[in-house]
Amino acid sequence: MLVLVVVFVLVALLIGYLISAPKYTGPVSDHFNGKTFFTPGAPQPRGLMDVIKWQLNHDISEPWPPFHTEAAGAKPADRVAVDSTRKGPVRGPVRVTYVNHSTVLLQFDGLNILTDPIYENRVSPFSFIGPARNSPPGIRFDDLPHIDVLLLSHNHWDHLEIGTVKKLAARDKPLIYCPLGIKAFLEGEGITNITELDWRQSAPINAQTTLHCVPAQHFSGRGMFDRDATLWAGYVLDNKAVGKIYFAGDSGYGPHFKAIGQQFGPLRLALIPIGAYKPNWFMSPVHIGPPEAVQVHQDVQSQQSVAIHFGTFPLADDGEGEPVTDLARALATNGIDPARFRALKNGESVNF
């Protein structure tokens, strides 16, 4: 028996090593100590013993239903252009299509931008184990228009699904923007056109659009030996014709949200996570729930928000529809028109 246990542990360690991503090397900063990244002043993400405690004491108040299939959403337009007849600083529509989880298609001023794309069935290094999707992507992969830009917020399996990224890179050769440390992993997979950004760095996408990398409160890692070895981030897209759009990525609640609002607000649109928040004692350092999401909507001075990170993968103890229900309750409590913070269905599109 002891031999079997030792073999199991050694195999687990080997797999954990093989799936770990390359580690970032660079100068020390206010959020990098030379070996690992951290969010200044934030509570530490929970460790292994807390993971075991959570797994042994699940309290799922709304169990996820069996896998279900809805009709895919309509094929998105090839492009969404600026209205040249409209006067004023904001002349163009922004079209938002919620694909699933944190995958959102943003179309404005002739640009097609996709966030944290995932089309695989599991958010796991394995095809046979790990959190499995509860519904198919809302837009078929082949119906996606040509993607100009991929925004990657961090390297967790539910946000950087390498199979999907490789398919998009081969098909469209998009510009890819990622936080520090992730470029080495992508290049190791044969992917090019990558720009790596630190918090508070900016990069031009084109003459009309600038991308700003902004802080988030989270952690990173793909295996057992790369915990916090790469950075996590959010992004603000600043387009001269349509205004500013914020993609929050993954984050616990912290003062960085108000700082983003003070620097970039008012924002025309914000993509804010609302799911994977239970149990609060475990999830709150790295994920926000609906009440915090509503606070973020206010902190970043968002004129219009769209919910992300919910209803696709059972990653925590909240149910499939619970984040949407709790979002509606939080908006009512704060006297905010629910039309200003919408939770779209997979495949649903809306023009702002």
Task: Judge whether residue 152 has pLDDT over 80.
Answer: yes
DSSP run (H or E) holding 200: none
- pLDDT of 49 reads 83
Domain ranges within the chain, ordered by starting residue? 82-351
Those residues with Cβ within 8 angstroms of residue 270's Cβ, 6 or more apart along the chain or in another chain: 245, 246, 248, 296, 297, 300, 302, 304, 305, 306
Please report the pLDDT score of residue 44 as a whole number.
84
Q: Can you give the pLDDT at residue 54?
A: 80
Residue recorded with tokens 């292994």 = 48
Per-residue pLDDT tens over the stretch 194-235: 999 999 999 999 999 999 999 999 999 999 889 999 999 999
What's the average model confidence in pLDDT over 112-134? 93
What confidence tier does 51 reach under pLDDT thresholds 50, 70, 90? Answer: confident
Q: What is the mean pLDDT of residues 24-50?
A: 92
Q: Is residue 88 over pLDDT 80?
A: no
What confidence score (pLDDT) does residue 17 get?
58
Q: Which CATH number fits domain 82-351: 3.30.559.10, 2.130.10.10, 3.60.15.10, 3.30.300.130?
A: 3.60.15.10
Q: Which residue has the higher pLDDT, 60 or 167?
A: 167
pLDDT tens for 2-20 read 554 455 455 555 456 567 8
| Neighbour order of strands in the sheet with 341-342 | 202-206, 209-214, 234-239, 243-247, 269-273, 305-308, 341-342
Residue 27 pLDDT level (bands cut at 50, 70, 90): very high
- Determine contact, residues 205/151, Cβ cutoff 8 Å: no
Query: What are the residue ranges of helices labelled H in the chain?
Result: 2-18, 48-56, 162-172, 182-188, 256-264, 280-283, 290-299, 322-333
